[in-house]
Amino acid sequence: MAYPPWLQEQLIQEKTWRQTAAARRLAQQLASWQIRTVCQSARCPNRGSCWSRPAATFLILGEVCTRGCRFCNLSPGRPAPVDEDEPWRLLRAVRALGLRQVVITSVTRDDLADGGAAAFAAVVQVLRRGAGPLTIEILTPDFQGRPSALETIAAAQPDVWGHNLETVPRLYPSIRPGAIYERSLQVLATARVLDPAIPTKSGLMLGLGESAAEVMAVLTDLRQAGVTHLTLGQYLAPSRRHVPVSRYLTPAEFAAWGRYARTLGFASVHSAPLVRSSWRPAAPTGEAAPEEAGNSSPSPC
């Protein structure tokens, strides 16, 4: 399916950003520090503009995932052992880049007893001790719903705790095999119970074949689970082997979804074709985003 004109224009602009000196310099720095980003591994369309700021979403626990979601560009397979030095390399990068906001995510590690929760906690703790004033947002897998893993994350006290539902329940078997909608929703609800002071965040990809009624139901579920930060973006197939795009939503449709979500009480909503779950890291205070946030910006991550 060919990209519609509005999406072609944004993607062309993003390719131009990748050629900037700032973006090339960040790529070289990350390689020298042996730092992985989901920007690269997931083929994020906004990599160029984010790297030009500079900003990046750091990927921990390797690049090999124990699941095989049909929308994701990460490679499924058997991951390598946990790298105990990773938190310190991330600290070096955060210091060198002078970052004041970071987003940390990971592959799913069902091979680990805690799903990788201890690795997330270690990163948060090392950055807290060594990076100065810093807002830390994490985007975690579901840890198979293990209570002890969720307790480990809450005890580390990130500033924002994100976990993406990604799509509607009906599409989970074909889009997210290995994941369970109710379990993911429970992760978010449990996070709020464990520490109500930590804002929770989730995101959906649109254009996978979901209906409007299904999206409305998921947004209601998220609010009932206490989620306050939301991202809505267009699904873009990373390759021909991934599930194809069912439909491209217009910018006006994304704006309408943003308005609808705000009526449900989300404190922060970013809704536009190229919005991704780590775009504009959520403010812990939960300040409401302006109505147009995410609609005209060419650089959502």
Per-residue pLDDT of 221-256, as tens digits, reads 999 999 999 999 999 988 888 899 999 999 999 999
Query: What's the pLDDT score for residue 270?
Result: 95
Query: What's the pLDDT score for residue 109?
Result: 96
Residue 55 lies in a domain: yes
Closest among 164, 276, 173, 179 to 225, alpha carbons compared:
164
Residue 28 lies in a domain: yes
> Residue 247: which domain range?
5-271
Closest among 171, 194, 195 to 181, alpha carbons compared:
171
Residue 284 lies in a domain: no
Burial 271-286 (b: 16+ CB within 10 A, else e): bbbbbbbbbbbbbbee
**Residue 87 predicted with pLDDT over 60:** yes
Residue 214 lies in a domain: yes
**Distance from the first to the final alpha carbon of the chain:** 23
**Residue 97 predicted with pLDDT over 60:** yes
Query: What's the pLDDT score for residue 299?
Result: 30
Residue 27 lies in a domain: yes
Secondary structure class of 50 (helix, strand, coil): helix
pLDDT tens figures, 200-211: 999 999 999 999
- Angle CA(150)–CA(262)–CA(151) in degrees, nearest 5? 5
Residue 26 lies in a domain: yes
Residue 161's identity, in one-letter code, is W
Of 13 and 151, the one with more pLDDT: 151
Lookup result for tokens 């790529």: 27
Number of domains making up the chain: 1
Query: What's the pLDDT score for residue 48?
Result: 59
Residue 97 lies in a domain: yes
Which of 1-15, 88-102, 276-290 comes out lowest in average pLDDT? 276-290
Query: What's the pLDDT score for residue 28?
Result: 85
Q: How far apart are CA 274 and CA 93, in angstroms?
A: 26
Query: What's the pLDDT score for residue 77?
Result: 92
Which of 155-164, 185-194, 276-285 comes out lowest in average pLDDT? 276-285
Query: What's the pLDDT score for residue 6?
Result: 84
Residue 222's identity, in one-letter code, is L
pLDDT tens figures, 142-166: 999 999 999 999 999 999 999 999 9
**Residue 301 predicted with pLDDT over 60:** no
Tell me if the pTM is above 0.85.
yes
Question: What percent of the chain has a predicted confidence (pLDDT) above 70?
Answer: 84
Q: How far apart are CA 33 and CA 168, in angstroms?
A: 38
Query: What's the pLDDT score for residue 283?
Result: 60
List the CATH number of the domain containing 91. 3.20.20.70
User: What CA dihedral angle connects 45, 107, 117 and 104, to 10 degrees?
Assistant: -20
Query: What's the pLDDT score for residue 291?
Result: 35
Q: Do strands 57-60 and 160-162 pair parallel, antiparallel, or not at all (unpaired)?
A: unpaired
Of 84 and 9, the one with more pLDDT: 84
Residue 61 lies in a domain: yes
Query: What's the pLDDT score for residue 146?
Result: 97
**Residue 47 predicted with pLDDT over 90:** no
Q: How far apart are CA 265 and CA 268, in angstroms?
A: 9
Residues 6+ apart with CB under 8 A from 147: 190
Residue 142's identity, in one-letter code, is D
**Residue 292 predicted with pLDDT over 70:** no
Query: What's the pLDDT score for residue 54?
Result: 65
